[in-house]
Amino acid sequence: MALLFVTDDREYLLAPGETFETDLGVLEIPEDVESGDTVSTHLGTEFTARALRGPDLFEHFDRTGAPMMPRDVGLVLGETGISGGDRVLDAGTGTGVLSAYAARAGADVVTYERDPEFAENARENMALGGVADTVDVRTGDLLDSVGDLDSDSFDVLTLDTEDAADVVAHAPDLLVTGGFVAVYSPFVEQTREVVEAAREVGLADVRTKETIQRRMDFDERGSRPSTAGVGHTGFLTFGRID
């Protein structure tokens, strides 16, 4: 599996046995390299090998669009409790950040992506993230496959699609008792549709949160929230099967 090789403010994602040329020198990665090892270029610059963590996947996955931000992923994991032994059904794979996080938390994931090229890219990302064996990336529309899935067989349903409200209507047939629905929506109009669909099929504890964070700036003048931007990403709606 590829590792990050870090020095000062630089990091490169490289595989064992790879040779990489930089202005700091040629970096030859040993076949038996492990996380924590130090590798030097031919000019003597040292790089430290580091295993990939979740935020590293967000930074280094090959993107096919705007991936879900780590803070949004954290809310999904925290609100649904995805963990070892869970089965997660996902739609709108995209880059695959959420699926990879869920798998690294111990879940088995089935995720649907309509675009064949996006789906293939996501499979490559799952291999990079070391979760190819526990994330099943399927090409197609989840709505077209609902009837082929085992009923009451998933613990969590996660959605990042325009037709999320239509999928939520099937949640009672897909989730175990106590299972969760988590929907990411970039627009409030879609969010309202999801909430209405969730209430119509009888989901419990339906609630929506806007995800927003502000960085803090610290300098010689003082400390304050950053003026660089508001930090809004989207809306997350959750519900549960009674």
Confidence category of residue 228, pLDDT binned at 50, 70, 90: confident
Each residue's pLDDT tens digit, 6-15:
999 899 999 9
pLDDT: is 227 or 155 the higher one?
155
Q: Which pLDDT value is given to residue 231? A: 80
Q: Which pLDDT value is given to residue 214? A: 85
Going by C-beta distance under 8 Å and a sequence separation of 6 or more, which residues neighbour residue 195? 206, 208, 237
Domains of the chain as residue ranges with CATH: 3-50 (3.10.330.20), 61-240 (3.40.50.150)
What is the average per-residue pLDDT within 195-205?
98
What is the average per-residue pLDDT within 138-160?
93
pTM of the model: 0.89
Coil vs helix vs strand at 28: strand
